[in-house]
Amino acid sequence: MKFGHSDGDLSLLRPLDTKVSLAFMVLIVASVIVYIYLVIDGSFTLYTASPVLTVPFMAAGIYSYVINRRIIPGVIAIALLALTYFLIPEGVFFVLYLILGAEGVAVLAEILQRRMFFPIMRRIELIDSGKRGLTDRVVAFLFCIPPGMDMRDIRIDRDYSRSSIPVKSILSSMAVSMLLCLFLWMYVFMDTSVSVETEGLPIAIFTIIMYMTLLVMPWTIYDRVNARVGEGHREFRLYDGFISGAKKASVPAVIALIIIMFAEWAGIENVFFALMTTVMMLLMVGASSLLHFSVSELPLINDIYDRWSKFYPIGVYSGYSPYGRSSMKDDVPGTPRRNPSESFSTDIRIRNR
C-alpha cells in the first residue's frame, strides 16, 4: 500500500480554504508591520500594542459568521459585547477574543487539518523507505515514532460516529496547551520588569494564547479518526505518540520552571499570573474546540473518508485466504494482512447520531 500521488492530489482543501489561508498570511504580515511601527513610534508598549496581532483571527471569525450565515449567534454576540461594554468596559476585549477570536482559531485549525492530514500520513507511511530527511525527522519527533518501525500498515477507523462532544480530545488539547504555558511562565518570571500590574499584559497574554491554541488544535484530527499503524496488540496510535512526546517534553520544562520560580521569586503574584494564564488558555482552547467539534469536524472527517477510499483502495481479494485469489505479494516480508470484514466494507461514510 503506497502513495502514488502528489501533495496536490492529497489535499483536502476547498477553494475558499486557499483564499482564507492567503488572506490570513497577508493579515499576519500587515499586523506585524503595524505592531512594530506602533512600538517603535512610542505610542504603545510591547503589551498594549498586542491587540493588533489578533486582527487575522478576528477577520477569520467574521468570515465564519458571514459565510455560514450564523445570524442568530451573531446577534447574540453583538448583544453580549454591548452588555459587557456597559457593565464592565475593561472586559470587552476578552469577550471579543472569546467570541470572534475562538471562532477564528477554529476556522484556521480546520484549514490546517485539511492541509496537513494526508501529506503527513504519506510521510509517516514512507518514513523508513529510505534515508530520513529533515521533514521525516520532524514528523518522527512529533509523533515519537521509534527508529526502524514498519509504518506501512497505516489505518484509520472508517466507521466513525459520536453522539456528544468529545470531551477527552478537548482535555488532551488543554493538557498539551499547558506545556506551551510553561514556556510563557518562564519568560515572565525571568523578566523582572514584568508584573501582573504591567499595563496591557493580560491582553498580550490572551493574544499569545490565540497563537498557541492554533498550534495545538490541528493534531486532534489524528485522534478523531484513530490514525494508527498495525492492529491489535501491535497497534501504534499516532495521537498517543504525539501526547507521549508532549509528556516527555514537559518534564524538563517543569523542572526548569521550578528552578526559575525559586531563583526569581517575586511573591504570590507569580502564582496569580500562572493561574490567570491557565484560565485564559483553558477558556480559549475550550471555546475553540467546542466550535470546531460542533461545526467543522463532521464535514472534515467525511472528506477524509471519501479521499481515503480513493487513495487507499482495498481490493476484494487482499491475501487473507490461502485458497482464493490474491492481489498481494504474500512472500514479501512485512506485507500487511487485511481482515475479511475490511475487504468487503464499501460504505465508509460517516454516521452522525
Looking at residue 24, its pLDDT comes to 93
Pairwise CA distance, residues 53 & 28, whole Å? 7
Looking at residue 196, its pLDDT comes to 66
Mean pLDDT rounded to a whole number for the chain = 78
> Of all helices (H) and strands (E), which one includes residue 197?
none
In which band, very low, low, confident or very high, does the pLDDT at 27 lie, cut at 50, 70 and 90? Answer: very high
pLDDT in tens, 107-165: 999 999 999 998 888 888 877 766 777 888 888 888 888 877 778 788 888 776 676 77
Pairwise CA distance, residues 217 & 113, whole Å? 9
**Among 15, 27, 97, residue whose Cα is nearest residue 61:** 97
Calculate the alpha carbon distances from 348 to 97, 259, 342, 344 in Å: 38, 52, 10, 11
Looking at residue 315, its pLDDT comes to 41
Sign of CA dihedral 282, 84, 28, 208: negative
Pairwise CA distance, residues 28 & 93, whole Å? 19
List the end-to-end C-alpha distance of the chain, in Å, as a whole number: 32
> Of all helices (H) and strands (E), which one includes residue 128?
none
The mean per-residue pLDDT over the stretch 61-66 comes to: 87
Three-state helix/strand/coil letters over 157-193: CCCCCCCCCCHHHHHHHHHHHHHHHHHHHHHHHHCCC
pLDDT in tens, 84-110: 878 877 777 788 888 888 899 999 999
Calculate the alpha carbon distances from 302 to 84, 125, 249, 299 in Å: 39, 22, 33, 5
pLDDT in tens, 207-226: 888 999 999 999 999 988 88
Pairwise CA distance, residues 29 & 24, whole Å? 9
Upper half-sphere CA count for residue 21 (Cβ side, 13 Å):
13
